[in-house]
Amino acid sequence: MIDNTAEGPLRVLITGSAGFIGHHLCARLLAAGAEVTGIDALTDYYDPALKRARNVRLENPRFEAVEGRIETPGLLDELVARVRPEIVVHLAGQAGVRHSIEAPESYVEANLIGSFRLLEALRRHPCKHLMMASTSSAYGAETEMPYRETMAANMPMSFYAATKKANEAMAHSYAHLYGTPTTMFRFFTVYGPWGRPDMALFKFTKAILEGTPIDVYNHGKMQRDFTYVEDLVEGLLQLFNVPPQGPVERGPAIAGDSLSPVAPWRVVNIGHGAPQKLDNFIAAIEAATGCAAKRNLMPIQPGDVPATWADTGLQEALIGPLPKTPMVEGVARFVEWYREYHSA
């Protein structure tokens, strides 16, 4: 639910607004009447044309698109000072477990320095609620499942995951020192229309339609908590209205809460809450495309984990149950979008 105020529309700043999740979140906010400012670098990590096409869909008198790298000194400070957002959702950063092995410095610049620039901007120009993207990869070598927010999660398996875990720690220190209510949210294998070309669903669909083999890692013995993008966005919108409270203001404790004892800061899983076998995911793509996949079975890649599974108990305690789009339905929507996008 979006609470527009008597003074005017809710003001929201989204970093990474031309990205997969950022684009969907901006669209929902605009449809709800919010005033949205988005910033995105439109980098060439994947085809910028896809990012520009997402931005075109967001054209609206209440949407401002700013192009720039969040790590640029002064950029976010000036933007936050001008926009004065009530809610900030930090989605920008360098994504990808495998790419972090090949180009780790880009993760330092975007994920660490960029997040630092945002924290500093909000220190000088506070907002009501900062929401920062983390990842299920933060659980790393944890073997107990489902993953709970209260797990230590101190053994990242990739540099990407390490930077996201560092973001959580950085944000906690700023929440403690300066009192900014901060929610870290850990995503679990988000998929859907307008997805990234480096993600499995995009790559598998492209290869299956072209009749070329797909690389199936760990010989197919993988499980993921596949989460449809619109379900995740609904979770983000609901969390807008649940900022963590400081030690003095907070009420009765919630069982299993990750709320910091010294700061208005917590981490929340957002996932489907039910892992699916990779074979089922591929079968859903085959059904949606009407084509059989040719599998190239390979060992697990460095930095990857064989399974993920979100404990959604805290999320449900805070905002109630979220929609759970069936995987077959979500994959079919992606394939329909993919065909339309590439036929345009």
What positions carry a catalytic annotation? 160
Structure tokens at 292: 């059989």
Residue 35 to residue 14: CA distance in whole angstroms: 11
Q: HSE-up of 264 (CA within 13 Å, CB side)? A: 21
Q: 37 and 14 in contact (C-beta within 8 Å)? A: yes
Residue type, 183: T
What is the distance, to the nearest Å, from the Cα of residue 187 to the centroid of all Cα atoms in its chain? 5
To 5 degrees, how large is the angle CA 230–CA 254–CA 232? 5
| Backbone φ and ψ of 233, nearest 5° | -60, -40
Asked if residue 146 has a cis previous peptide bond (ω within 30° of 0), the answer is yes
Residue from 163, 147, 64 nearest 104 by CA? 163
